[in-house]
Structure formats: C-alpha cells, structure tokens
C-alpha cells in the first residue's frame, strides 16, 4: 500500500521583496495530526512563509501540494476553503466590530444559503469561546476593548469557526501568561487528537519541547534543517542552527555593590487606580533594575502607564529625583526624564508609514533640528548606532518600518528609548517576539544603561527574564504587591506559586 501523502508539502518556495530575498528555496512538509514548529531568528522568513501558505503572499517560485495534489492559493479565501486557518503575528481583527462579527467575518454563506448573523452568530461564537476555555469573553463586546490575550483567543475562535485541517499560529504565546499558555496547549492537544495539523512559531524553545513533534529551522530565508525531532534534538543544536553560533540564554552580571544610600531616582508613593491596582510604594535607585512579576490582569501595565502619566492615578504620586510630578501628565513625566517602551507596539508606538530612522529618532527630534531644519545626517547616524546595538535587521534604517519582521519592529521601539537618553526607563514586555540571540544583546544593553545610572522598571510575563535581569522583584496579584525580594532569593516556581495563589484557576 502506498503511504499517505503528507497533508501539506511546500517545496522550493522563494519570495523576494525590494532589496530582500525573504525566502530562498524553502521546503516544508506537514503531516496530519502533528505539531510542526517553525524556528528562526528575527527576519529569518517565518512569517513570510506562513503568509504564502495562507494565500496572503504569492510566491515567486515553488510548489505547494495539499494532500498530494498541486494547488495554487490565489487568495486567503482559497486557503480557507482548503481548511487552512492562520493566526497572524500581528492580529488582524477589526477593533470596532464585535467579537461575534470578527469571528464570522469573511465567512461563506452557510449550507442553507444564509450568512450567520445576529443571535445565531453570537450563540455559535459563545460556544467556540467556551471550547477555548474563555466563557467570560462576551461575543457582543467590541474587540478593541479586549486585552491582547483575549484578542488572541478571538483570533483562535475565528480560525476554529471554519472546518480546519491545518492551523498556523505565528507566535501565539507572545501575548500570553503561563496559565494561558497551558490553556493554549490544551487546545492544541485537542486539535491534533482530532487529526488537525498545527504549524507553530515561537521564540520560546521550551514550548517547542513541550508540544512540538517536528521542527523546521529557517535561517536567512533558507531551511537549514527540515523535520528534526522536537523533543530529542538538543537545544544547543537548535540554537546553533538558528544563529550559526552558540548563544547561551545568559543574563549580564549584576553589580557587586547594589545601589544603596544614594537618593532614589524614582519613587512611587501610594499610587493607585481604582479597579486596577491598590496603593503601591516602590523606589528605584540609579543603577537599579526593579522587576514587576504577575499575570496579565494583575495591573502590571497599568502601573507603568500611570507612572508615565498616561493614566490619572486615584491616589498617590510619582517623584523623580526628589521632585513630585504633576499626576496624570505625560509631558511632565517626559520632561522629568521618564521613558516608556509600551507593550502594544503597533498601536501605541510605531509610525507604520515612516522609516526605521524616523521611528527611532521621533522622540529625540530636538537633538536633530536646528533653526527649523532637520539634520538628516545626524538623525540617520544616531539611528544607525542605536539599531546596530540591538542587531536590527536589515541593517539599513532607511527602509519603511512596516517591512520589518515583528521582532525587528520591536527592537526599533527599544532603540528609540535608548537614543532618547531617559533617566527612568519603563520597559513593558521588552523581549516579546525577540529571538534568543538578540535577547542576550538586549539584556546587556539594559544592564549597561543601568550601570550608567538609569533607573529601570521592568514588566515581563516571562518569569525567568524578570529573575535574570532585575535586581529586585515585586510580585503582583490582582493589583496588589504580595511579595518583594531580591531577585537572587527567588526562583521561578516560587514566583508562579505567589502569582497564582488563591486564583480561581488553580
């Protein structure tokens, strides 16, 4: 008996953009019922490959077979018809439509010839959300009002509202907490048990071990390894394939003498926001990195935004270098030297139509303008230096930022804050979507800035990152600090216990 053909086989796929060959003869083979992981550094071509698979990009050359038969995917609808659903890295939901409308957007009429509408749409959406373990999301809510994690779930619901055979997830865990990742993996487990195939992209190698069956590694648009066993291939080998060198997941050394005695640079005194977080006190000395650990919804990002003045506090104040700031006033915060690298980069931070240079320099324009003229040479030079420090690719800051890969866009926003020279740096999920190689570089830069006398307040859902990078850690649960300790006295299990304790899910 002839063996079953693979569910999907892509061969010799190439795709070029002006000046970049994003894919250079890539092969990918996926079997029904497997989790096939796609790994590679920022800009390696992962998202481009899955956009070809989703019918969103047309390849320049190459062939695609679906269950043994050659197919051409001229549009996303064509891919959808075959049963290929994609959850993109940059979620493509419509913010001003409801959850149910988003889930049913672009659907073909039902068998009876009617598009699912109104009540029926809400009912079927509610059923999907229950299946995904999120019955609390109201199908009638506007998507724009949901958290990033909830939007992710809506995107999943939309994928599952079709009859899927292959579901592609481009960094789905980047916006999720550990317990939400567990929930995601449960869903993936259910899907593969039903014979659905999953293509899974993530920069977190431990996830690949947990749920992956096989791994394909991309480097500079080429597949450098195809279908390696996910569980038994040593991490060292995978990282070496991705980066072409041996990178350790290392954190920079902490200073031997912790900043003490000196006046704190940042003081948060009794700061609270009703319904978001309880009165909070914390101090950060120059040279110190303080980490906030907690689940999504524990108030982490809200705290940073309130310190930054983007939200008005109910009580309390922020003091920088001994001077109290006008509450709820971003301009006062910026003038005092506070910088915030926000969590939702696309919406809050990036100028999508502008070059990388302008995105990096936009907060420091006064440095580059003289008598109303912008010194473009100086602007470009400074942007180039800041982006090199984070090994941003491509190494040409004149290109439009929208053409950068997700992780590289992230680095551009961070470069902006490095260039601006703030004294107090608030970092919200700084490594979301950043590859293992670049992470180590980013950590080194943050530590160096602290060594130069900055005060850094760091929020991350990756507990090892908070523990590895911060000097001191505040653990938050439901808007309240439940524990404070030097990072070296904590470990991951202890922190997870602290953030979950008493939460209904545990």
Ligand X SMILES: Nc1ncnc2c1ncn2[C@@H]1O[C@H](COP(=O)(O)OP(=O)(O)OP(=O)(O)O)[C@@H](O)[C@H]1O
Q: Which residues pair with 197 in a beta bridge?
A: 166
When asked if residue 42 is in the footprint of ligand X (CB under 6 A), the reply is yes
Question: Which of 6, 45, 430, 468 is in the footprint of ligand X by CB under 6 A?
Answer: 45
Question: Which of 47, 98, 183, 409 is in the footprint of Mg ion by CB under 5 A?
Answer: 47
Question: Which of 28, 30, 48, 461 is in the footprint of ligand X by CB under 6 A?
Answer: 48
When asked if residue 407 is in the footprint of ligand X (CB under 6 A), the reply is yes
Question: Which of 47, 150, 216, 461 is in the footprint of ligand X by CB under 6 A?
Answer: 47
**Shortest CB 228 distance to ligand X, Å:** 18
Q: Which residues pair with 286 in a beta bridge?
A: none
Rounded Cα distance between 282 and 422, Å, is 19
Q: Which residues pair with 425 in a beta bridge?
A: 339, 456
When asked if residue 172 is in the footprint of Mg ion (CB under 5 A), the reply is no
Contact 249, 439 (CB under 8 A): yes
Residues 426-455 that bind ligand X (CB under 6 A): 435
In this structure, the chain runs to a length of 506
Neighbouring C-beta atoms of residue 45, cutoff 10 Å: 26
**Shortest CB 348 distance to Mg ion, Å:** 19
When asked if residue 59 is in the footprint of Mg ion (CB under 5 A), the reply is no
Residue nearer to ligand X on the CB measure, 339 or 407: 407
Residue nearer to Mg ion on the CB measure, 151 or 405: 405
When asked if residue 22 is in the footprint of ligand X (CB under 6 A), the reply is yes
For residue 394, say if its preceding peptide bond is cis, omega within 30 degrees of 0: yes
Establish how many alpha carbons lie within 13 A of residue 207's alpha carbon, considering only the half-sphere containing its beta carbon: 29
Rounded Cα distance between 230 and 242, Å, is 14
Q: Which residues pair with 351 in a beta bridge?
A: none
Among the listed ranges 233-241, 340-348, 361-369, 401-409, the one in contact with ligand X (CB under 6 A) is 401-409
Among the listed ranges 90-98, 243-251, 301-309, 406-414, the one in contact with Mg ion (CB under 5 A) is 406-414
Q: Quick one: how far is CA 285 from the chain centroid?
A: 29
Tokens of 9: 């086989």
Rounded Cα distance between 76 and 51, Å, is 9
Question: Which of 46, 104, 358, 447 is in the footprint of ligand X by CB under 6 A?
Answer: 46
Angle at CA of residue 267, ends 266 and 273, nearest 5°? 115
Tokens of 106: 């672009």
Residues 176-235 that bind ligand X (CB under 6 A): none
Residue nearer to ligand X on the CB measure, 89 or 98: 89
Q: 477 contacts which partner out of ligand X, Mg ion, none, CB within 5 to 8 A by kind? A: none
In the DSSP assignment, the letter for residue 44 is S
**Shortest CB 306 distance to Mg ion, Å:** 31
Q: 439 contacts which partner out of ligand X, Mg ion, none, CB within 5 to 8 A by kind? A: none
Rounded Cα distance between 212 and 190, Å, is 14
When asked if residue 403 is in the footprint of ligand X (CB under 6 A), the reply is yes
Which residues contact ligand X (rule: CB under 6 A)? 17, 20, 22, 40, 42-48, 89, 393-394, 403-408, 435
Binding residues for Mg ion, rule: CB under 5 A, are 47, 89, 405-406
């Amino acid at each position: 008996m002839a063996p079953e053909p693979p569910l999907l086989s892509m061969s010799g796929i190439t795709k070029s953009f002006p000046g970049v060959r994003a894919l250079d003869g890539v092969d990918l083979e996926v079997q029904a019922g497997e989790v096939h992981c796609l790994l590679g550094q920022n800009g390696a071509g992962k998202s481009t490959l899955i956009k070809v698979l989703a019918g969103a990009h047309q390849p320049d050359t190459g062939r695609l077979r679906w269950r043994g038969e050659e197919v051409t995917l001229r549009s996303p609808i064509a891919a959808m018809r075959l049963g290929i659903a994609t959850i993109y890295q940059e979620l493509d939901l419509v913010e001003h439509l409801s959850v149910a409308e988003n889930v049913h957007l672009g659907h073909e009429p039902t068998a009876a010839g009617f598009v699912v509408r109104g009540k029926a749409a809400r009912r079927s959406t509610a059923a999907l959300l229950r299946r995904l373990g999120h019955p609390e999301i109201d199908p009638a809510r506007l998507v724009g009002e949901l958290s990033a994690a909830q939007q992710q779930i809506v995107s999943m619901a939309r994928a599952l509202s079709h009859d899927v055979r292959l579901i592609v997830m481009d960094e789905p865990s980047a916006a999720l907490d550990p317990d939400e990742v567990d929930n995601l993996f449960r869903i993936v487990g259910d899907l593969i048990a039903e014979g659905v195939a999953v293509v899974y992209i993530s920069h977190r190698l431990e996830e690949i071990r947990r749920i992956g069956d096989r791994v394909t590694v991309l480097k500079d648009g080429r597949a450098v390894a195809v279908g390696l066993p996910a569980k038994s291939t040593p991490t060292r080998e995978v990282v070496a394939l991705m980066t072409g060198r041996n990178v350790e997941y290392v954190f920079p050394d902490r200073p031997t003498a912790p900043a003490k005695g000196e006046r704190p640079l940042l003081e948060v005194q009794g700061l609270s926001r009703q319904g978001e977080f309880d009165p909070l006190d914390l101090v950060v000395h120059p040279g110190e990195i303080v980490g906030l650990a907690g689940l999504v919804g524990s108030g982490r990002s809200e705290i940073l935004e309130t310190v930054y003045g983007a939200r008005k506090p109910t009580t309390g104040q922020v003091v920088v270098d001994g001077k109290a700031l006008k509450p709820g006033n971003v301009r006062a915060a910026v003038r005092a030297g506070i910088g915030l690298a926000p969590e939702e980069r696309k919406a809050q931070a990036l100028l999508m139509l502008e070059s990388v240079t302008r995105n990096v320099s936009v907060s420091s324009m006064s440095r580059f303008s003289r008598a109303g003229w912008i010194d473009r040479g100086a602007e470009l030079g400074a942007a180039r230096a800041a982006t090199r420090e984070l090994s941003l690719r491509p190494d040409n800051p004149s290109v439009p930022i929208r053409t950068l890969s997700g992780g590289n866009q992230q680095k551009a926003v961070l470069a902006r804050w490095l260039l601006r020279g703030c004294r107090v740096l608030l970092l919200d999920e700084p490594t979301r979507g950043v590859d293992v190689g670049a992470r180590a570089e980013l950590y080194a830069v943050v530590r160096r800035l602290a060594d130069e006398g900055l005060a850094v307040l760091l929020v991350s859902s990756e507990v090892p990152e908070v523990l590895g990078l911060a000097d001191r850690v505040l653990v938050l649960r439901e808007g309240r600090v439940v524990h404070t300790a030097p990072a070296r006295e904590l470990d991951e299990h202890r922190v997870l216990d602290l953030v979950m304790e008493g939460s209904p899910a545990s």
